Structure 1
Amino acid sequence: MNSVPSTDPLTQASPPRLSVDHPGINELFAVLAYGEVAAFYRLTDEARMAPDLRGRISMAAMAAAEMGHFELLRQALDSRGVDVVAAMSKYATALDNYHRLTMPSTWLEALVKTYVGDAMAADFYLAIADGLPDEAADVVRAVLAETKHSQFVVDEVRSAVTSSAKQRSRLALWSRRLLGEAITQAQYVLADRDELVDLVISGAAGLGHLAGFFERAQHTHDERMRELGLA
């Protein structure tokens, strides 16, 4: 993240602060909630691909963290009088389709998806959170807080690609595919829900901030690829 304050007039303007009762906040919490549940089951399944016990434990720990995040969202929606299951069900098709299109076939592909694909989705929702009231933004940031398991993924992938140029090339292609699918999913989810679009447009950061996110996506992705030894 760039620590230098933006000078973009679109992000410096001060439109009326969003109400904490904006319906788009419920929608944002709901899509995040389904994402956490889907991630839990995905990571649990992918843990079986691990070549050793250490890998299975690390992936299982990440899965457990997802359910902790889900509980935060359930509580947040409950406090707003919204049933989490009913609210998040409408997002099942879009998110399940993303995971269907990006189903890893190997342990290393699963690790790269966890590090690159999931992080890309988190970046998208955090960009929206920048324009939310503090109370709602705090929930989103707590849910998307980076876990301590990312270094495990980096170490595993870097070790594999350092000793195999073929693995590096294959995983680099996989990583680029994840980027494209993640952006497509983010745009689809946003466009499919008027409440979310209004949330972004009406927020303090404005639509220009989110447009900037998509422009920066490739650069952020390239940085993560370098961290994994794929670029």
Structure 2
Amino acid sequence: MSVPTAPESAVVDLLGLVALGELLAFERMAADARLAPDLRRRAALSEMAAAEIGNYRRLADRLTALGVRPDDAMAPYVEPLQAYHDSTVPHDWAEAVTKAYVGDAVTDDFLRHIAGALHEPERQLVLDVLHESRYAQFAATEIRLAISADPKVAGRLSMWARRLVGEALSQAGRVAAADRGALTALIAQGDQVDVAALIRRLTDSHTARMAAAGLNN
């Protein structure tokens, strides 16, 4: 396997991070589907899991085409991403769909921003693996149904969502520590990136999603 140049290294690091995220999301959703209260919901979350592993395959294939083993590209990020999932295991169906709704959306917002710094075909590939809106709509509907059945659930799920975001930010710091520099440079590429503005946009989007699902930020 050839050693990537600096720009290629940044792309490889990003694709490795995203690929691992898709792989672990597949494992998580497949397991969480067993928490579903009926077969319809179980099938819906299983379909979401199938989409995740399909996305992983596309990313892994692109890494291979770049001359990099997917295992090698993902390896630096295994510990922090696995730690996030291990520390945020849902206890019931409502927590499972909240995790899918909150965690996936924050990740998608971030990747949508990063894609702007990529060249083709990687830019379109990253955009293509963002989650379909119907999955977010399904999760939001399930959250609202849970709250409708028991209004007290809103407080518990709001706290759970805040914990998810807190854990994600904590592990993001570990990802940055594991990074070899190229990915960080890509994220902060040039003088066009206003980190404070990016954080505000991500926060505003998260707040709007919480409100749409009947949760408090």
Q: Which amino acid aligns with 1:69?
A: N
| Contact persistence 1:20–1:135 (CA under 8 A) | no
Residue 218, structure 1, aligned to residue 215, structure 2? no
Q: How does 1:27-66 map to 2 (within 5 A)?
A: 27-66=13-52
Instruction: Give the SS at the match of 2:132.
Output: coil
What is the identity, as a one-letter code, of the residue corresponding to 1:27? D
Q: Does 1:196 align with 2:183?
A: yes
SS in 2 for 1:81: coil
Say whether the 8 Å CA contact 2:76–2:178 is kept in structure 1: no
Partners of 1:64 and 1:20 lie apart in 2 by 33
- Structure 1 residue ranges (4+ consecutive) displaced by more than 6 angstroms after TM superposition: none
Partner SS, residue 75 of structure 1:
helix
Gaps of 5+ in 1: 1-18
Give 1:32 shift: 0.6
| Mean CA deviation greater in 172-181 or 50-59 | 172-181
**Alignment identity in percent?**
38
The one-letter code of the counterpart of 2:93 is W
TM-score (norm 2): 0.89
1:182 corresponds to 2:178: no
Instruction: Report the TM-score when normalising by structure 1.
Output: 0.84
- Tell whether the 8 Å contact from 2:77 to 2:178 is kept in structure 1 after alignment: no
Paired residue for 2:130, among 140, 144, 147? 144
Give yes or no for the alignment of 1:166 onto 2:136: no
Is contact 2:7–2:182 with CA below 8 Å preserved after alignment? Answer: no
Query: Following the alignment from structure 1 to structure 2, what is the Cα–Cα distance between the partners of residues 179 and 135?
Result: 30
Q: How many Å separate the matches in 1 of 2:165 and 2:113? A: 16
Amino acid at match of 2:205: T
Q: CA deviation at 1:103?
A: 1.2
Q: Is 1:111 aligned to residue 120 of structure 2?
A: no
Q: Report how many aligned residue pairs link the two structures.
A: 211
